[in-house]
Chains A and B, each alone.
Chain A
Amino acid sequence: MSKVWTALRERAEERTLENGLRVCYLPKEGFGKTFAILATNFGSVDASFTLEGTRYDTPAGVAHFLEHKMFEDEDGNALQKFARTGASPNAFTSHTMTAYHFSCTERFEENLEILLKFVFTPYFTEENVAKERGIIGQEIGMMDDTPGWQLFCGALEGMYRNHPVRVPIAGSVESIARITPEVLYTCHRAFYSPKNMALIVCGTADFDEVCRMAAQYSPVDAPEIGERHYGERRDAVSELTVTRKMPVSRPQFMLGFKDIPLEAGESRLRRTLLGELAVRILCGDTAPLYAELYEKRLIGRDFDTDYMLIPEGAMALLGGESRDPEAARAAIEGETARLAREGVEKSLFDRMKKALYGLYLRVLDVPEAYARQEATALFAGEHYADFAALFDTLAPEDVQAVFARWAQRDRSSMSVVLPQ
C-alpha cells in the first residue's frame, strides 16, 4: 500500500507480511544514507506478561539485557559483521520499545540481511550471559552517576506507585543477576514474534526486495502475546516529591503532571501533539512563563519539556537546573491552574501550533528520528506524517481540557537532585 502526503512532499510504502511483520519504506530523495530500524513493541515496562496461557514475571532489566545479547550469534558478533561493511549499527531499549538499527551509504542489502538474521536468531549460553552481566553492570554504574538520568528515574518513581515504568530500564545489579538464558529465550519468543514487530527503511531502497528479504529471514511461526500486566492503576501520583543527593553543583528538578492513559480508539499521534502543544504553551522556551522564570533565574537554558505516553499511562515532564525548585514548581503549577480556568489566548495558541508544526516537519529530514517516530506510530496503526492533518483538528478548548486534568489534586510530582 502506498501513501502520499502531497503538502509534505513525503511518501510511504507499507506492507504486512504473512507472519504479521509490518514493513514500511520512507523514500528520501537525494539522501546518500539509508537507515533501517527493526523494532519490537517490547520495552522495560513489559516485564510481566502471559504467553500461551502461562504468566511470566521476569526480572527488571530483561528487555535491555536481551538487546545487548541479541548481537551475539553462534558465528560471531553482529557488530563486527556490520563494521566490515562500514555500516554504523546501534540499538536502544526504552520503556516501550527495543530497536536495532544501522545506517549505511553502501551495501544496503548485505546490512539488512545481517540485521534481520541477528534479531530473529537468539543465541544465549550460560557463559555469554554471565559475561554480559559485567558489561551491563558497568553501564548501570555509569547511569547511577548521571544526574539527568537519576532525575528522570525519580520523576517516574514519584508519579507511579505500581506501574513498572518506575523501575530503571536497565534494572539493577541484583535484578540482572537473576536473568538466565531461559528467561531470555522466553522473552525473545514472546516479544520478537513478527506480529509484535516492524521494519522501517528510510532512505533509498527497493521496497519489494526489502519485503522479500524480510519474509525470508523472519520466522513463519509467530506466537501472539497474551496479556501484558502493568499493575493496578491509580489516578493520583505516588509521592509529591522524590529527592536524591548527588555530586552536582546546583539543584535540578523535574516536574511531572500525570495525565490519563490513551483511551480506546483515541489517536496516539493526536494525543502526543496535544500533550506537546500544552506543555509548550505552559512553559516551552518561547512561552511567557518561561521568560518570567528565566528572568528570575528559577530556570536556566537547560530547561526542557516533554510529553510521554506509556501503556496505561501518560505524563508531561518539565525540568532543568534551578536555584529554587520549589518556587519553580509553584509558578508552573499556578500557571497550569490559570490555563485550566481561563483557557489559552487564541494568538498564543496559534503561534505555538505553528512552531510545533515546524518542529514536526523538521523531523522528516532526520532519517533516524523519522524512522523511530514511524515505528512508534505504526505500533499504534498510524503514520508519523499524518501529523500535518491532525494539526487542523486541534483547538484551544482541547488544550484547556488537558490543563484541567493536570491541574487536579495529586496529579503532579517533583523529582529533585540536590548537591550533596
Chain B
Amino acid sequence: MQQVTRKKLAAGVNLTCVTTPKFKRAVLRAVLLLPLGGPDAARRACLPHVLRRGTKRLPDLRTIGAELDELYGARIEAVVRKEGEHLAVGFLSDCIDESCAPGADGLTAGVIRLLAELLCEPYTQEGVFCADYTAGERENLIDLIAALKNDPRSWAPMRLTQLMCAEEPYGQPVYGTKEQAEKITERKLYAAYCRALEEAQLELFYCGPLAPETVGQLFAETPLAQPRTGAGVLSETRVLAQPTGVAREIIEEEAVTQGKLSIGFRTGGASLTGGDAAAYWMFQTLYGGSTNSKLFLNVREKQSLCYYASAQFIAPKGIMMVNSGIENDKFTVARDEILRQLDACREGDITDAEIDGARRTLTTNWGAMLDDPLTLERYWLGQAAAGTMVSAEERIAQVQAVDRARIIAAAQATALDTVYFMKGAAQ
C-alpha cells in the first residue's frame, strides 16, 4: 500500500502526500479549486498563464527559464482543469528527486518556493498585472478557444458535453467564451485573481520520497500556507440520474473527411460519490473499455465500422460517453450497433470471461496508476474536488466483489441522453 496522507495546513489549504521511495522524480501541484463556469470563467482560464509569465523576483520568461534549468529541468506548467463541476487553476510541477543528481540538495524546496511565488507573488505594474503579459495571454486564450475545433477527435466529445449538459455547470466551457475572453484587461484580471485567492480552496500535492511532515514544513514556509478564511465549503457536483427529457439527436457538419459519433448517457446516479460506481466501472469496461469489449469486438473488429469505438465512465459527473470515428454514411448503422450492444448488456448477454476480463483490466489500470506520479496527482485532485478519499487499492477491492447481477443493473440503469454526430463535409 502506498502511504497517502491528507492534512489541513491552514483554513482552506489542504496538502495530499503520496510518500514512496520508488521514483527518481517528484510531482508537486498547487491549484485553486473554484466553481465551474460563471462570469469569471475566461479570466480564471487566463489567470495561471499570466502568472506563469513573471513573479516579483523573476519578472519574465527568461529569468524563470534560467531558474527551471538550474533546478535540473524542473517543469512548471499552468493548470486549467475541469474536475466534476469545479475548475482547478494553478500549477503542476515535475522535477527530479534531489537524491538523484550531484549538487541537487534543496531542489524540492526550490520548486515549492517557485510554485508559491508564481501563485502568490506575481509580477505587477502599478498594482495590477503587467499590461503586455495580460494582452498576450488574452490573445492566446482567444486562439485556444478557437482552436478547440482543430482536433475533431477531442472536439466531438467536448461538443457532446456542451449539448447534453447545457443546463448544468458541467456543460459550461472550461475556458469561458470568446466574448468573455475579449473583455479581459489587466485591471479586471487582477480583480478576478484577488477574488479567486479569497474564495478558493487551495489544493497542494506532493508525490515523492520526502516525509509528509517535511513537505508540510516546506509549504508552511511559503505564502501558500496562509489561512484562507474566505474559502467556503466546496459545492457538490450535481449528478442527474436520468435525462431530463426524451433522447435527442444532433447532427452538425464540419469540414473534415471522417465523421465523429459521440453518444452520451446518464448512469442512473452512479458517480464518484453515489450509486454503485464499482458495478458501473465493470459494466463500462466490458461494454467499451478494453480491446475485449463489446464495442471493440463488434463495432470495430466484426463490422469494420470504425477505427476506434470506446466507452468512458466520467465518474466525477456521473455520465457515460461512447466515442467513435466512422465514415459519414455509416452513421445510422454504427449508432444502432452501439445501442444494440448496450441492449445486450441490459439483457444479461454477458459471459463469465467478459466479466473476468473487465475485472482484470480495471485491476491492471488502477494498479498501474500507483507507478505513475502524474496520474496519481490527477486521481487525488479528482478525489479532493469530489470531497472523497478512496484510494486505487480500495477501488480494486470494490470491483472484486461485483457480480453479474450488479453489472446488469448498471446497464439497465443507463439511459440514452444525447446522440451527437459530427458529419464530415470536406470536399
The bracket for how many chain B residues form the interface is 35 or more
Contact between A249 and B149, CB atoms less than 8 A apart: yes
How many Å lie between the Cα of A135 and that of B424 in the bound state?
A: 18
Determine if B397 is an interface residue (Cβ-Cβ < 8 Å).
no
A278-306 contacts to B, CB under 8 A, are: 285-288, 290-291, 294-295, 297, 300-301
Q: CB-CB contacts of A384-396 with B at 8 A, as 1s and 0s?
A: 0000000000000
Q: How far is the CA of A9 from the CA of B100 in the complex (A)?
A: 8
The smallest beta-carbon distance between B105 and chain A, in angstroms, is 14
Question: Please, could you name 19 A-B residue pairs with CB atoms under 8 Å apart, sorted by A?
Answer: A32-B367, A83-B357, A83-B361, A86-B357, A86-B362, A87-B360, A88-B361, A138-B326, A141-B325, A141-B327, A142-B153, A145-B257, A145-B258, A247-B256, A285-B65, A297-B139, A351-B70, A359-B73, A361-B24
Once the chains bind, are A287 and B258 in contact (CB under 8 Å)?
no
B101 partner residues in chain A, CB cutoff 8 A: 357-358, 361
A247-B255, A362-B96 in contact; A33/B70 too (CB < 8 A)?
A: no
Whether B61 contacts A146 by the Cβ 8 Å rule is no
A72 and B149 CA atoms in complex are apart in Å by 36
Q: Is A16's beta carbon under 8 Å from chain B? A: no
Q: Are B368 and A135 in contact (CB under 8 A)?
A: no
**Interface presence of A267 (CB below 8 A):** no
Contact B152 A145 (CB under 8 A): yes
Closest to A147 in B: B150
Among listed B3-11, B81-89, B299-307, B405-413, interface-contacting one: B299-307
A113 at the interface (CB under 8 A from B): no
A357 to B100, CA, bound (A): 11
Contact B254–A138 (Cβ < 8 Å)? no
| B339 adjacent to chain A (CB < 8 Å) | no
Interface size on A, residues (CB 8 A): 66
Q: With the chains together, A87 CA to B363 CA distance in Å?
A: 9
Residue of B297, B325, B371 with most partner-chain A CB within 10 A: B371
A29 and B209 alpha carbons, distance in the complex (Å): 14
Residue of A nearest to B306 (CB): A138
B359 within 8 A of A: yes
Stretch at the interface among B15-23, B194-202, B234-242: B15-23
A84 at the interface (CB under 8 A from B): yes
User: C-beta contact mask, B58-74 vs A, less than 8 Å → 1, else 0?
Assistant: 00111011101111111
Q: Is the CB of A354 within 8 A of B65?
A: no
Where the two chains meet, the residues of B that have a C-beta atom closer than 8 Å to any C-beta of A are 20-25, 49, 60-62, 64-66, 68-74, 94-96, 100-102, 132, 136, 139-140, 143, 146-147, 149-153, 254-258, 290-293, 296-297, 300-301, 304, 306-307, 325-327, 353, 356-357, 359-365, 367-368, 370-373, 424, 426
Complex formed: what's the CA distance from A106 to B325 in Å? 32
Say whether A247 contacts B254, CB under 8 Å: yes
Tell me if A105 and B368 are in contact (CB < 8 A).
yes
Q: Give the docked Cα–Cα distance between A287 and B65 (Å).
A: 7
Q: Are A286 and B146 in contact (CB under 8 A)?
A: no
Please choose the segment from A53-61, A74-82, A158-166, A220-228 that sits at the chain B interface, where 4 or more of its residues have CB less than 8 A away: A74-82
Q: Which residues of A contact B149 (CB under 8 A)?
A: 247, 249
Instruction: List the 3 closest pairs (A to B, CB-CB), nearest first.
Output: A86-B360, A83-B292, A286-B65
CA distance A357 to B69 in the complex (A): 10
Interface stretch, picked from A119-127, A258-266, A328-336, A363-371, is A363-371
The reply to whether B61 and A420 form a contact with Cβ atoms under 8 Å apart is no
CB distance from A164 to the nearest CB of B (A): 24
